[in-house]
Chain A
């Protein structure tokens, strides 16, 4: 089930909310747990057992770690937990890729290691990382192990963030699980946030996907179409994933949970380093806290170790995104660029640069991101290479094409709106209004929300027209 579907919006959500608020507080967590498992089982009835198994062994091992006084035992239990969580990921997400790669490299191994075709449980990367972070935090004594398996289950499977994040830390919501308050205004805020994310997904991401799909299907087709396709994909993935995060945060708020922000206008970033502080923040901080810092982070004795640490993080980031060489290369691309920025100190020096140079570097940052998205979107390395060559006019491709002429005009309203919505223009306007306060602020703010509501109605009509709109990050 996806948030931007009629079944979720008009059946699951109202049903869940109504029962949640009718139940006494002490039963609400169990109801939400049941609803979340049902939500997951809707699309993956058999894989819900994997999630339940994940909840059980993570709960058990966290308790065991918490109760164990001996450091060696605690470490062994942690290693066991990490192995089990990563083992699940390995089998369900990476085994097909590993066996296929092995067969490509060593054809003789096909009989020893037969090809696999294991289906990928939706959201497995998200809930596995979430569960891992819980157990590691217990090990680090940042959090106490939760004795109530239902509460751990709720933390891991809570439907707002189950399928596509944000990756919520246990320490963020552990108090909220036991004690949370929902007021009319917080519920209202949550709904508005949900509505905003819904509109981003349906009206921007889904529509811009049409251009991106056309461009990538044609491997670019022409120079202009390739660039348009890359631009539209960059916007598509932002509004798809960012929109989903908005919906998740909004839903959480409606239920009394406050999740941390996951996106902060990443396309205004001045450096690639900054981009990853604004894009998929929960994943970036996860790798920072659970991989980078344990390796030593940037406080290491040599540049070589720093480079090693960064390469490990970005290799893992790429792998996390998918079982394909394109994702691995995409991760490593960022690794290399960030290493360069780190070693040259560009992020720190940038403010002192002349304005022209700062602008140029911002453009370069966007270019790196855009080209990275081409890698990310392509089905394989060969197609990525073809697409990138088309972008730069190599291989005798035409400058323009009928497809470009049509798509740039047909979708002008959407890619322009996409660009405008990806910068914090409206946000800053709203902040200024808020500072001014008064009746004018209230009227204008409400008018803006009513416009969002009108777009929400249109988004619903879009769903009626189009039955099929899965999230990009669904398969992570």
Chain B
């Protein structure tokens, strides 16, 4: 190409282009400052500086990244792209994954069956729930030549579980069999089901659990008339939409349900060492996080988090007012956000584990410790990161080698006085051994002083002053139902560590000025 001969003219396009570069350069030059300073101060080498600057320019700090993503999505759409930035635009205008290959689900199914068998040996019926998927069972909405094998992978899992004699619930026929159902029950720009689908799924799970538990359940709260449905249109961009912008395939509504009936429940959650908490109150105040989100904040908000906000390794829901007194354990992912809260209105306890984040114990151990009345897996994700080794064989071997327990503490009463500040706690007089399992229980907790909704048991490492794990108990619930119980595995990766169990009022490190009397305290070690 020969160059443009402008006959001495300056092109407007050139001026505008140069201005654009200068403005973007000025706005983003700050990204280079810190790496350059580190290099000049000798804190980083030249290569490190160049890597850091390059990374900064492609990070979320680049301005205006959101505008660039939106414009780029528009371009992709105008250029006729159907698969863009690992997202597929289906024939009905909805977005789904870029691709899904056909996998051999033998190993995955094997892990699930191993856990199901472990649970069954403990009298806990097992249920696998498959949620709806964006690609319908009937019809082909994908671009010509594209294949998505997720439904086939799900079919294989279901078949293997059924062949092994375990209960399954496939929600796809009722919620995503056809294009119409997909458009009704799935988000347009996100991979999740919407809360209309989650609510219907809740009803289906309750029906199935009734059969599994062999007892009549009060399913009143599965009636949508008892709930208020909220919807705000064009509110957010889902996970797929965030990759291509709002102009590629549109946006999504946010919708959620709140009960019209009276509620009072609590949940305790663990996230990481310093992220754990306890919330108690009515359903809407503790579960619904509408105020966290702003309409049109396309690239930051994830309105699928409207229930529960975050995902946690372990959440324990407790509901003294629940019509059904069973304890349900659920292993799931983000598909369970709404579902776990719906189930918490029906059941006394719902224990929710997300295996992607859990550490310190295995799922099988947790089943052994809590002995739930039913165990459910509900996930869309059958990849290795979720379907891990649940630890059934390891736990079985451990229990065979440690068939009994020895009591280390049996106290009628232990008292913690108030006035100890934010870390006011009672240390149980036992030095715990790394690699061992301990069971803590007490029959009652009475507080006096500042109000406390919960008490907490903390597994504490004294030399590093580190919180290893916490178990938070709803005082009202546990006093009423007759007991507090939890189990801890002491880590073995720190053999020199000094571990202890602390008991405190409220949430650990935020203890109110309250004295507590713990009754019937027992600490046992598995031997």
Q: Which residues of A contact B (CB under 8 A)?
A: 5-7, 9-11, 13-15, 41-43, 45, 183-185, 187-189, 191-193, 195-196, 242, 246, 249-250, 253, 261, 263-265, 401-407, 409-410, 412-414, 424, 427, 434, 442, 446, 449-450, 452-453, 456-458, 460-465, 467
Q: Closest 4 CB pairs between A and B?
A: A406-B145, A405-B145, A449-B13, A461-B72
Closest A residue to B243 using CB positions: A465
Q: Which residues of A lie under 8 Å from residue B83 when comparing CB positions? A: 406, 410
B24 touches A189 (CB 8 A): no
B5 within 8 A of A: yes
Q: Are A412 and B80 in contact (CB under 8 A)?
A: yes
**Which listed residue (A193, A264, A457) contacts B71, Cβ 8 A?**
A457
The segment from B14-22, B120-128, B203-211, B436-444 that touches chain A is B14-22
A185 touches B17 (CB 8 A): no
User: Bound complex: CA of A183 vs CA of B9, how far in Å?
Assistant: 10
B13 cross-chain contacts in A, Cβ below 8 A: 192, 195, 446, 449-450, 452-453
A406 to B89, CA, bound (A): 13
Contact, CB under 8 Å: B68 / A7: no
Residues of the A chain whose Cβ atoms lie less than 8 Å from the Cβ of B29: 10-11
Check A456/B68 contact, CB under 8 A, given A11-B32, A410-B81: no
CA distance in complex: A76, B53 (Å) = 47
Stretch at the interface among B57-65, B332-340, B369-377: B57-65
Closest A residue to B24 using CB positions? A10
Task: Determine whether the beta carbon of A14 is less than 8 Å from that of B25.
Answer: yes
Give min CB distance, B102 to chain A, whole Å. 13
B401 at the interface (CB under 8 A from A): no
Is the pair A442, B9 in contact by a Cβ cutoff of 8 Å? yes
Question: Any chain A CB within 8 A of the CB of B149?
Answer: no
B145 touches A192 (CB 8 A): no
Partner of A188, one of B2, B14, B28: B14
B72 touches which one: A10, A442, A464 (CB < 8 A)?
Answer: A464
**Please, which residues of chain A bring their CB within 8 A of the CB of B47?**
45
Confirm or deny: B147 has a beta carbon within 8 angstroms of a beta carbon on chain A.
Answer: yes
Given contacts A6-B58, A185-B8, A458-B75, contact A453 B3 (CB under 8 A): no
* Residues of B5-53 whose CB lies within 8 A of A: 5-18, 20-22, 24-25, 28-29, 32, 46-47, 50, 53
Q: A42-B50, A450-B13 are in contact. Are A10 and B28 (CB under 8 A)?
A: yes
Give, as a whole number of angstroms, the nearest-CB distance from A12 to chain B: 10
B91 within 8 A of A: no
B377 to chain A minimum Cβ distance, whole angstroms, is 33
Of all chain A residues, the one with the shortest Cβ separation from B9 is: A185
* Chain B residues numbered 72-101 whose CB sits less than 8 Å from any CB in chain A: 72, 75, 79-83, 85
Q: How far is the CA of A452 from the CA of B46 in the complex (A)?
A: 36
Distance, CA A261 to CA B143, complexed state (A): 42
B54 at the interface (CB under 8 A from A): yes
Docked pose: A14 CA to B29 CA in angstroms = 10
Q: Chain A residues near B16: list those with CB within 8 A.
A: 450, 453
Q: Is there a chain A Cβ closer than 8 Å to B69's Cβ?
A: yes
Please tell me if the beta carbons of B72 and A465 are within 8 angstroms of each other in the complex: yes
Nearest CB on B from A267, distance (A)? 13
Interface string of B118-153 (1 = CB under 8 A from A): 000000000000000000000000011111000000
A205 → chain B, closest Cβ, in Å? 15
Further contacts, 11 of them, CB under 8 A, given A7-B53, A401-B145 = A183-B8, A188-B9, A195-B17, A196-B1, A261-B1, A406-B146, A449-B13, A450-B13, A463-B58, A465-B85, A467-B58
- B215 near A: Cβ within 8 Å? no
The answer to whether A427 touches B2, judged by C-beta atoms less than 8 angstroms apart, is: yes
Docked pose: A452 CA to B1 CA in angstroms: 15
**How far is the CB of B465 from the nearest CB of chain A, in Å?**
40
Neighbouring A residues of B82 by C-beta, 8 Å? 410
B463 contacts chain A at the CB level, 8 A cutoff = no
Residue B4, interface by CB 8 Å = yes
A348 to B147, CA, bound (A): 52
Enumerate chain A residues within 8 angstroms of B14, measured Cβ to Cβ: 187-189, 191-192, 195, 449
A193-B3, A402-B147, A446-B11 in contact; A414/B68 too (CB < 8 A)?
no
A222 to B85, CA, bound (A): 25
Q: Which of B4, B9, B58 contacts A193 (CB 8 A)?
A: B4
Shortest distance from the beta carbon of A99 to any chain B beta carbon, whole Å: 28
What mask results when residues 237 to 267 of chain B are scored 1 for a CB within 8 Å of chain A, else 0?
A: 0000000000000000000000000000000
A464 and B68 contacting across the interface, CB-CB below 8 Å:
yes
Q: How far apart are the CA atoms of A14 and B19 in the complex, in Å? A: 10
Distance, CA A412 to CA B80, complexed state (A): 8
Residues of B with C-beta under 8 A to A195: 13-14, 17
For residue B46, which residue of chain A has the nearest CB? A45
B146 touches A461 (CB 8 A): no
A409 touches B143 (CB 8 A): yes
B5: which of A187, A189, A265, A406 is its contact (CB, 8 Å)?
A: A189
In Å, the complex CA distance between A189 and B80 comes to 32
Q: Do A191 and B9 touch across chains, with their CB atoms under 8 A apart? A: no
Inter-subunit contact B147/A461 (CB<8 Å): no
Complex Cα–Cα for A7 and B50 (A): 10
**How far apart are the CA atoms of A261 and B3 in the complex, in Å?**
9
Across the two chains, which residue of chain A brings its CB closest to B70?
A461
B residues near A401, Cβ cutoff 8 Å:
145
A43 / chain B contacts, CB cutoff of 8 Å = 50
* Residues of chain A within 8 A of B75, CB atoms compared: 458, 461
Q: For B6, give its contact among A10, A185, A458 (CB under 8 Å).
A: A185
Interface pair A413/B80, CB less than 8 Å apart = yes
Contacts of A14 in B (CB 8 A): 21-22, 25
Alpha-carbon distance between A404 and B22 when the two chains are bound, in angstroms: 42
Q: Across the interface, which residues of B come within 8 angstroms of A406, CB to CB? A: 83, 143-146
Selected A-B contacts with CB under 8 Å, 27 pairs: A5-B57, A6-B58, A6-B62, A9-B24, A11-B28, A11-B57, A185-B8, A189-B3, A191-B14, A192-B17, A193-B4, A195-B13, A195-B17, A242-B1, A246-B1, A265-B1, A405-B144, A406-B83, A406-B145, A406-B146, A407-B145, A410-B81, A457-B71, A458-B71, A462-B72, A465-B69, A465-B85
Q: How far is the CA of A223 from the CA of B495 in the complex (A)?
A: 63
| Contact of B71 with A461 in the complex, beta carbons under 8 Å | yes
Enumerate chain B residues within 8 angstroms of A458, measured Cβ to Cβ.
71-72, 75
A453 neighbours in B (Cβ, 8 Å):
13, 16-17
Q: Are B3 and A249 neighbours in the complex by a CB distance under 8 Å?
A: yes
Q: What's the Cα separation between A193 and B14 when bound, in Å?
A: 10
CA distance A462 to B22 in the complex (A): 19
> Closest approach, in angstroms, between the C-beta of A10 and any C-beta of chain B?
4
Cα–Cα, bound, A153→B20 (Å): 32
Q: Is the CB of A461 within 8 A of B46?
A: no
Cβ of B72 and Cβ of A185 under 8 Å apart? no
CA of A406 to CA of B13 in the docked complex: distance in angstroms?
36
Contact A191 B68 (CB under 8 A): no
- Determine if A6 and B69 form an interchain contact, defined as CB atoms under 8 angstroms apart: no
Q: Are B3 and A253 in contact, CB atoms less than 8 angstroms apart?
A: yes
Distance between Cα atoms of A414 and B80 in the complex (Å): 10
Closest to B27 in A: A10
Q: Which residues of the other chain, B, contact A465 by a CB distance below 8 angstroms?
A: 68-69, 72, 85
Q: Which of A188, A410, A452 contacts B10 (CB 8 A)?
A: A188
Contacts of A15 in B (CB 8 A): 25
A195 to B80, CA, bound (A): 24
Nearest B residue to A200 by beta-carbon distance?
Answer: B1
CB distance from A119 to the nearest CB of B (A): 13
Check B85–A427 contact: CB distance below 8 A. no
Shortest distance from the beta carbon of B26 to any chain A beta carbon, whole Å: 8
Candidate in B1, B17, B145 with the most chain A CB atoms within 10 angstroms: B1
Q: How far is the CB of A55 from chain B (nearest CB, A)?
A: 20
A411 to chain B, nearest CB (A): 8
Q: Is the CB of B145 within 8 A of A10?
A: no
Chain B residues lying within 8 Å of A413, measured Cβ to Cβ, are 79-80
In the complex, the chain A residue whose C-beta lies closest to that of B54 is A7
A250 to B2, CA, bound (A): 11
- For A464, list chain B residues within 8 Å (CB): 58, 62, 65, 68-69, 72
How far in angstroms is the closest Cβ of chain A from B87? 12
Chain A contacts for B25, CB-based, 8 A: 10-11, 14-15
